[in-house]
Amino acid sequence: MSLVDGFSFATEIRVRFAETDAQGVAHNSSYFVWFEIARVEYLRTFAGGYQSLRDRGLEAFVLETHLRYLQPARFDDKLVVHTRCDGVRGARFRFDYAIVRDGETVADGWTSHACVDRATLRPARVPEWLADAIATAESSSASSVPARSSSSASS
């Protein structure tokens, strides 16, 4: 699978029957689940996984989401969710997404996040190790990292 220009990572998913409505079209809420799958896989690939944050006493809350539907995804479609992370400032960072089927974008969007202390839920600066991992992933040399297929893609 090749990457969409400007994106550093991609993971495959397949639209499951449970994610569709009576017409076999993916339910609008499924796209946010696919964003999360891609985000978790991105962190696993470049930053040791989301659990690394939790093990170090942090959480990353979703602050805001945006999704633009361009074409319907349908049951059993194979989709590629392209992901990149930017905008690391203070406690905040943002992921961008493009969901592609057969070379055509079916949806795109973004999610913004904030790191918080796990115990107090107070904002905490994005740790240096995570900021460095994101910078490495998003650097021009990291754009040659091959896209990965998510283990949940065959579910």
Domains, in order of start, for the chain = 9-145 (3.10.129.10)
Out of 5, 21, 76, 117, the active site residue is: 21
Beta bridge partners of 39: none
Q: Which residue has the higher pLDDT, 63 or 143?
A: 63
pLDDT band at 23 (very low <50, low <70, confident <90, very high): very high
Say what the pLDDT of residue 5 is.
84
Residue 108: Cβ within 10 Å count: 18
68 neighbors 107 (Cβ within 8 angstroms): yes
Q: Is the pLDDT of residue 39 over 90?
A: yes
- Averaged pLDDT, 124-136: 95
Say what the pLDDT of residue 87 is.
87
CA distance 13 to 149: 8
63 neighbors 118 (Cβ within 8 angstroms): no
21 assigned to active site: yes
In single-letter form, the type of residue at position 28 comes to N
- Averaged pLDDT, 91-96: 97
